[in-house]
Amino acid sequence: MPRRRAYAGSGASLISRRSFLGGVAAALGGLMLGGCGVTSLAAERLVVDFWNLFGGGDGARLDEMERAFRESRPEVRLNSTTLAWGAPYYTKLAMSAVGGRPPDVAILHQSRLAAYAPAGLLEPLDPQLLSEFDMGPDSFLPEVLEASRYEGEIYAIPLDTHPFVQYYNTDICKEAGLLGPDGELKPLEGPDAVIDALKRAKEVTGDLGLSFYPADDAGPWRLWYTLYGQLDGEAILSPDAREVTLDEEKALRAVEFMVALAQDAEVVRANIDYGGSVAQFLSGRAGFHWNGEWEVTTYLEADLPFSMLPFPNVFGENHVSQADRHTFVIPTQSSRDPRSMEAALEFISSMLKSSLIWAKGGHIPAYLPVANSDEYRELKPQSNYAGVADNVVIDPIAWFSGSGSTMEQRASAAFQSAMAGGISPRQAVVRLRTILQELVNIPKPI
């Protein structure tokens, strides 16, 4: 086993991974001998405190991956804590770092990096040290790793990409004449072709062509940002997030398509929330479902006849879809035992190596040894959209941006109003620009 350079904290000396783990194992071995040294030796056991926001199926898969680490590293105690998704999680994570008592490892959406790295809340990670723990640059797609940098430094280790995708009911689409000879969905390109397919599916179901969730805090944003990206829209904010640079005409085209789905083609209802959209597709009341890929196990467990593909190429200029990534980060601590950093990296490395388990929940693994494996390629329908991992649009870089953010919620409300017929598409775009300008004008909280 090669010697590995340990993290060098303030005044810390460098130690090898072997001496680190060997010393801890020897200390634990001493416990079995009994005697008066038990209490002091027990205090030497390394602890990794890990915070995450995963519930449901993701939480169950995370537990399985954590068990693999515990079994392989019994000399390290892993404390895993699951907190409420969204703003509660990110507020607590930021406050813990500011207060000097953060976890050793935490999950961070990549779109949230701009709110944490500039504020000094995360440790920059040495690429050489990451390589020593089998997480070097060659372990990730260049585009995926690049999005984990801030001002040239690596601050996050990507676990996955979770894109906006298209589900389709194979029985309904077959009856609608939408499947090819191979039993797969025929390519859908262009707004007319997409809406025509949704209408044909609606004729079969007698209800809806598309299951989607306009009445949601994030759904309309995911759809709009996908469409805006496909139009090759300019970044909606300047690189320093101090100026709104929205391309209003392309923004309008995206909103107009969303409104057409609900108002003109009437293939989707504007008053459906997230849970309702899942229920619609699950019950066969819609031929298509637009959502993140994370509901795949819901439909597999229900034995639903369905498959999945990348989101359709509606506008044809740039076949992208909105996405985010879960990453591992190491929050800044006022002081850190160098052995603690090594234990944290050992834990993250173990989780990446177990990420085929994670991929079963729909997420595209970021770790190339897993993503390029035969086992993942054979995982269906999850691997059908794996090719989009390096061709996605992530929320703009700003402290107020990212998954579960105020920006997503307020923008989604504007788009939902347009889809429901309350305001015109042009008014929705004006409202979007106003929202962005208001957020840009707010001083950074940290």
pLDDT tens digits along 196-219: 999 999 999 999 999 999 999 999
pLDDT at 1 over 70: no
Report CA-CA distances (Å) from 250 to 247, 418, 427. Answer: 6, 16, 14
Share of the chain above pLDDT 70, in %: 90
Q: For residue range 159-170, list pLDDT tens digits in order.
A: 999 999 999 999
Cα gap 229→195, rounded to integer Å: 19
Fold topology of 17-161+325-377: D-Maltodextrin-Binding Protein; domain 2 (3.40.190)
- Weakest mean pLDDT among 3-12, 172-181, 394-403, 432-441: 3-12
Cα gap 8→14, rounded to integer Å: 6
Return the closest-CA partner of residue 436 out of 251, 258, 226. Answer: 251
pLDDT of residue 99: 86
The three-point CA angle 100-328-149 to 5° equals 95
pLDDT of residue 49: 97
| Cβ atoms < 10 Å from Cβ of 223 | 28
Supply the pTM of this predicted model.
0.88
Strand extents, DSSP E, 11-129 = 46-52, 76-82, 105-109
Chain length of the chain: 446
Structure letter (DSSP) for residue 282 = H
pLDDT at 420 over 80: yes
Tokens of 104: 């050793």
pLDDT at 74 over 90: yes
Q: How confident is the model at residue 446 (pLDDT cuts 50, 70, 90)?
A: low
Cα gap 262→57, rounded to integer Å: 31
| Cβ atoms < 10 Å from Cβ of 262 | 22
Cα gap 178→201, rounded to integer Å: 8
Q: How confident is the model at residue 30 (pLDDT cuts 50, 70, 90)?
A: very low
Average pLDDT over residues 245-269: 97
Q: How confident is the model at residue 7 (pLDDT cuts 50, 70, 90)?
A: very low
CB 407 within 8 A of CB 114: no
* Beta-ladder partners of 189: 313
Which is more confidently placed, 404 or 14? 404
Sort strands 326-329 and 306-310 into parallel, antiparallel or unpaired.
unpaired
Q: In CATH terms, are 17-161+325-377 and 162-324+396-441 the same topology?
A: yes
pLDDT of residue 400: 93
Domain limits, the chain: 17-161+325-377, 162-324+396-441
Q: Which superfamily, per CATH, for 162-324+396-441?
A: Periplasmic binding protein-like II (3.40.190.10)
Cα gap 111→295, rounded to integer Å: 21
Q: How confident is the model at residue 86 (pLDDT cuts 50, 70, 90)?
A: confident
Return the closest-CA partner of residue 277 out of 167, 174, 158. Answer: 167
The three-state DSSP-derived secondary structure of 206-272 is CCEEEECCCCCCCHHHHHHHHHHHHCCCCCCECCCCCCECCCHHHHHHHHHHHHHHHHHCCCCCCCC
* Beta-ladder partners of 211: 289
- In which element (H, E) is residue 437 found? helix 425-441
* CA dihedral for 293, 298, 105, 379, sign (positive or negative): negative
Q: How confident is the model at residue 40 (pLDDT cuts 50, 70, 90)?
A: very low
Q: For residue range 87-128, list pLDDT tens digits in order.
A: 899 999 999 988 888 999 999 999 999 889 998 999 999 999
* Beta-ladder partners of 169: 306
Helix 219-230 / helix 248-259 crossing angle, nearest 10 deg? 120
Q: For residue range 332-368, list pLDDT tens digits in order.
A: 987 778 888 999 999 999 999 999 999 999 999 999 9
- In which element (H, E) is residue 104 found? none
